[in-house]
């Protein structure tokens, strides 16, 4: 496969079984669905991965191979994948991040984009602006959530730019280069970095799109910033503790309220953090993005803080598009209705649940990304009249 041309991304349809474990399979499908990875590469590497150590070595080997063949963009995102399950106490983590960043910008040399450093606190929010490829239809701001780099959304940014929007993507608190290069750690008060972006680019009347946990953050920011006129939240939970069954949630909260158990909980969390499983990675990632290397306190700063009360849903007055996926393995579909119900003062609420029929049933529609982007575009452009997924005509679904 020859290298991707960064100005002409292709979003393949289909969620594939690259690995038998969802822990690895989703992270292989993710760059593939965004147009950055080769199918045959992922089939091959999936057979050789059994744990986080294998993941790092095999994805690095794949990146090296792609680079040797001149497939720069593929190589960049294989380095990113290798970095994903590499913990911060591994000296290779920063190397892998730097290789990803270096090769990504090498791959898009000559493309029409601008790099900016938006002043924030004692550092900067690294940002990418892609000017409209056609008559300007307005400005869209894009960001991710718990584990994202803004470069990962470049193909999505190009999609909207090609349709006539000015598009700005940025690394916020605890994300990408904002964290890695400037030490800006996680902060749920997302109105602060968004205001910095709006001020720097002198913007009002914008559409804000937040992916994954970024959906929660985008809604939180909208509650405080009237310059945001439209907000799209894709793949989030209104309250992350409510993702757990009631009994487990209450038991967990009870233990956390008992300060005498803090040392015990931290010891258990440290043990889990070293395991080759999702909980281990989540624990380490929570500590890395917050800079709080106490598992219990890091958990409180992210997972307990991101609740319904702190989102201020009742203050949101904008037009809102809620997107969820029926078989999201991170966020139970019950979160969708809870969020929709909470938006009592929004100017309008359009909610869509993607299904297996559409091959978009996975987290953030990995498997059929372009379908979701088409829906977003129609909604932003005001050409839709539907209020629920079932009302979308079949010819528009396929």
Domain ranges, ordered by start, for the chain:
22-107, 114-239+307-397, 241-304
CB neighbour class for 259 (10 Å; exposed up to 12, middle 13-18, buried from 19): exposed
d(CA 380, CA 383) in angstroms, rounded, equals: 8
Which region, left, alpha or beta, applies to residue 212 given φ > 0 means left and ψ of -120 to 50 means alpha? left
Tokens standing for 223? 């509650």
Domain 22-107 has CATH 1.10.1040.10: no
Tokens standing for 121? 């606190």
**pLDDT tens digits in sequence order for the chain, 398 residues long:** 344 444 579 999 999 999 999 999 999 999 999 999 999 999 999 999 999 999 999 999 999 999 999 999 999 999 999 999 998 889 999 999 999 999 999 999 989 999 999 999 999 999 999 999 778 899 999 999 999 999 999 999 999 999 999 999 999 999 999 999 999 999 999 999 999 999 999 999 999 999 999 999 999 999 999 999 999 999 999 999 998 777 677 666 766 676 666 776 777 776 766 677 888 899 899 999 999 998 888 989 999 999 999 999 999 999 999 999 999 999 999 999 999 999 999 999 999 999 999 999 999 999 999 999 999 999 999 855 554 444 554 435 44
Report the pLDDT value the prediction gives residue 318, as an integer from 0 to 100.
Answer: 97
Report the pLDDT value the prediction gives residue 76, as an integer from 0 to 100.
Answer: 98
Question: Nearest Cα to 266, choosing from 243, 288, 298, 308?
Answer: 298
Q: What separation in angstroms does the CA of 353 have from each of 11, 183, 214, 239, 360? A: 20, 37, 18, 18, 9
Instruction: Judge whether 143 and 206 are in contact, CB under 8 Å.
Output: no
Threshold 0.85, pTM exceeds: yes
| 231-258: b (≥16 Cβ within 10 Å) or e | bbbbbbbbbbbbbeeeeeeeebeeebee
| 58-94: b (≥16 Cβ within 10 Å) or e | bbbebbebbbeeebbbbbbbbbbbbbbbbbeeeeebe
Write the class of the CATH domain 114-239+307-397. alpha beta
Report the pLDDT value the prediction gives residue 262, as an integer from 0 to 100.
Answer: 72
Tokens standing for 249? 């949630």
Question: Nearest Cα to 234, choosing from 321, 344, 326?
Answer: 321
């Amino acid at each position: 496969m020859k290298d991707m041309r960064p100005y002409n991304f292709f979003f393949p349809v289909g969620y594939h079984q690259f690995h038998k474990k969802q822990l690895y399979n989703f992270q292989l499908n993710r760059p593939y669905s965004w147009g950055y990875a080769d199918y045959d590469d992922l089939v091959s590497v999936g057979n050789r991965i059994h744990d986080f150590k294998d993941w790092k070595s095999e994805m690095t080997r794949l990146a090296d191979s792609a680079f040797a063949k001149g497939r720069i963009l593929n190589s960049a995102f294989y380095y990113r994948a290798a970095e994903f399950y590499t913990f911060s106490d591994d000296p290779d983590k920063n190397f892998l991040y730097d290789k990803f960043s270096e090769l990504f910008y090498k791959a898009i040399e000559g493309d029409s984009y601008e790099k900016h450093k938006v002043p924030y606190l004692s550092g900067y929010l690294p940002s990418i602006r892609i000017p409209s490829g056609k008559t300007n239809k307005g400005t869209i701001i894009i960001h991710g959530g718990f584990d994202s780099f803004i470069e990962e959304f470049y193909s999505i940014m190009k999609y909207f730019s090609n349709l006539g929007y000015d598009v700005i993507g940025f690394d916020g608190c605890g994300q990408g280069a904002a964290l890695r290069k400037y030490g800006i750690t996680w902060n749920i008060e997302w109105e602060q970095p968004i205001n910095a972006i709006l001020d720097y680019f002198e913007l009002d009347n914008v559409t804000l799109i937040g992916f994954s946990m970024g959906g929660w953050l985008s809604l939180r920011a909208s509650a405080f910033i009237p310059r945001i006129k439209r907000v799209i939240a894709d793949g989030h939970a209104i309250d992350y503790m409510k993702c757990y069954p009631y009994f487990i949630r209450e038991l967990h909260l009870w233990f956390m309220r008992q300060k005498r158990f803090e040392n015990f909980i931290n010891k258990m969390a440290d043990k889990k953090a070293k395991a080759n499983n999702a909980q281990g990675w989540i624990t380490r990632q929570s500590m890395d993005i917050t800079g709080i290397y106490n598992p219990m306190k890091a958990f409180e700063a992210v997972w307990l803080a991101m609740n319904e009360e702190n989102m201020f849903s009742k203050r949101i007055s904008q037009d809102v598009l809620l997107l969820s996926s029926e078989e999201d393995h991170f966020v139970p579909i019950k979160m969708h209705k809870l969020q929709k119900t909470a938006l009592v003062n929004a100017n309008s609420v359009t909610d869509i649940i993607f299904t297996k029929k559409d091959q978009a049933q996975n987290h953030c529609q990995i498997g059929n990304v372009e379908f979701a982007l088409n829906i977003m575009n129609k909604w932003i452009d005001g050409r839709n009249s539907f209020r629920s997924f079932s009302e979308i005509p079949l010819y528009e679904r396929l």
